[in-house]
Amino acid sequence: MNTSTQEIQHAATLLQQGDIVALPTETVYGLAGNALDLVAVNKIFEVKNRPLIDPLIVHIADLEQLNELATPHPMLEKLAEAFWPGALTLILPKTTKVPDLVTAGQPTVAIRMPSHPLFREVLKVSGLALAAPSANPFGYLSPSCAQHVQDSLGQKIPYVLDGGPCSIGIESTILDLSNKTPTVLRPGPITADELSAVLGVPVASKSKQAPEGEACTAPGLLKQHYSPHTPLTLLEAGNPFPQEILQQDRIACIHLRRPHTCLPQDNIQHFWMSESGDLTEVAQQLFSLLRMLDTQGYTRLYLEMPQAQGIGVALRDRLQRAAARA
Ligand code: AMP
Ligand code: MG
């Protein structure tokens, strides 16, 4: 992927003019706009059809930029040294500079320093802090390559900067530092154990999933999110596929690794996210495979769940939301 200086400059110029553009990050593609420009931030919500009560993550190039947006925290230095630039978002008390629109009226702001070289270049050239939620219609699967963005938002935005497929493929870990105990609000590529090892204190994990049958107070808590249109059923690894699948019309079975044997049934097609079941590869492939299968007219997708270890915790979180029906 050879992205020219002109392409980076073009994206930066559009952003400086108050426009929004899709940019690659190492996690998923983001729909970026100047975080301090209300017009740009409004466009992000509008294009994504995102409810205004769902706050945005602000992306920065360096720690100097953070000081303008958030109040420093005693744990920040250690975390930034270990994980930034990278797939960690921190929730910190905000400064008055950050518009309430960005934080959905909350006194805290979500900040991340991404590692993708193109995103970093655009941050540097534009000199802006960039609000950038995933570049997908609200509730649908996140985009892990430029074509995904073109497919669902291409008509609505002036530019997509193509940085190839995302190296991680799922959204960042969100760590809340605004309370006494650091708390993971969204599991991601960086695990609670890794955070705890660096901080030398316990890190709590809070499932943001609303309890069954209860109304949600914010879309970030939605039980259903990251969902394909085709119904999805999750199967625990090692459990046999249920008998009911033999009777169904055209279904897809998605395995973690290439299966040794497959049921020889005309109505079933088999797919796998990694040859060997490596969960890093599974994360890279997950949204691409689900998006592709979502266009193939299957009546249902069956997917083998990873174990809740390492990035498997985050994968299970996304899959449970993808399979839930509101
Ligand atoms: P994304 O759509 O992947 O950019 O993720 C944004 C998510 O970050 C939101 O849906 C919230 O769950 C979370 N978030 C952003 N800002 C805050 C905040 N100030 N406090 C708590 N969670 C936040
Ligand atoms: Mg999103």
Tell me the per-residue pLDDT of 259-310, one tens digit each, with 9 for 90 and over. 887 767 788 999 999 999 999 999 999 999 999 999 999 999 999 999 999 9
**189 C-alpha to center of ligand 1: Å?**
16
**pLDDT tier, 217 (very low <50, low <70, confident <90, very high otherwise):** very low
Q: Give the span between the Cα atoms of 221 and 66, in whole angstroms.
A: 26
**43 C-alpha to center of ligand 1: Å?**
17
The total number of residues shown for the chain amounts to 326
- Sorted by where each starts, the structural domains of the chain and their CATH numbers stand as 5-205 (3.90.870.10), 232-323 (3.40.50.11030)
| Per-chain mean pLDDT for the chain | 93
The residue whose CA is least distant from atom 11 of ligand 1 is: 220
Q: pLDDT at residue 43 above 90?
A: yes
pLDDT at 220: 54
Q: Is the CB of 282 under 6 A from ligand 1?
A: no
pLDDT at 125: 98
Q: Is the CB of 320 under 6 A from ligand 1?
A: no
Q: pLDDT at residue 242 above 90?
A: no
The residue whose CA is least distant from atom 6 of ligand 1 is: 56
**209 C-alpha to center of ligand 1: Å?**
13
pLDDT at 161: 98
pLDDT at 209: 55
Query: Cα 46–168–208 angle (5° rounding)?
Result: 60
| Ligand 1 pocket mutation pick from 54, 172, 175 by most atoms within 8 angstroms of CB | 54
Backbone angles phi, psi at 190, to 5 degrees: -100, 125
**84 C-alpha to center of ligand 1: Å?**
18
- Of the CA atoms within 13 Å of residue 294, those in its CB half-sphere come to 20
The ligand whose atoms approach the alpha carbon of 135 most closely is 2
Mean pLDDT of 20-37: 98
Contact 115, 85 (CB under 8 A): yes
pLDDT at 216: 43
Q: Is the CB of 174 under 6 A from ligand 1?
A: yes
| Ligand 1 pocket mutation pick from 57, 176, 207, 216 by most atoms within 8 angstroms of CB | 57
Mean pLDDT of 6-30: 98
Q: Give the span between the Cα atoms of 17 and 34, in whole angstroms.
A: 9
Residue that the structure tokens 């993550």 belong to: 57
Residues 6+ apart with CB under 8 A from 207: 317
**pLDDT tier, 223 (very low <50, low <70, confident <90, very high otherwise):** confident
pLDDT at 16: 98
**pLDDT tier, 249 (very low <50, low <70, confident <90, very high otherwise):** confident
The string of pLDDT tens digits covering residues 87-128 is 999 999 999 999 999 999 999 999 999 999 999 999 999 999
pLDDT at 130: 98
Q: Is the CB of 114 under 6 A from ligand 1?
A: no
Q: pLDDT at residue 144 above 80?
A: yes
Question: For the chain, what percent of residues have pLDDT higher than 70?
Answer: 94
**pLDDT tier, 1 (very low <50, low <70, confident <90, very high otherwise):** low
Q: Give the span between the Cα atoms of 167 and 1, in whole angstroms.
A: 13
Q: pLDDT at residue 211 above 80?
A: no
Q: pLDDT at residue 215 above 50?
A: no
Letter string b/e over residues 267-288, b meaning 16 or more CB atoms within 10 A of that residue's CB: ebeebbbbeebebebbbbbbbb
Q: Give the span between the Cα atoms of 242 and 244, in whole angstroms.
A: 5
Q: Is the CB of 113 under 6 A from ligand 1?
A: no
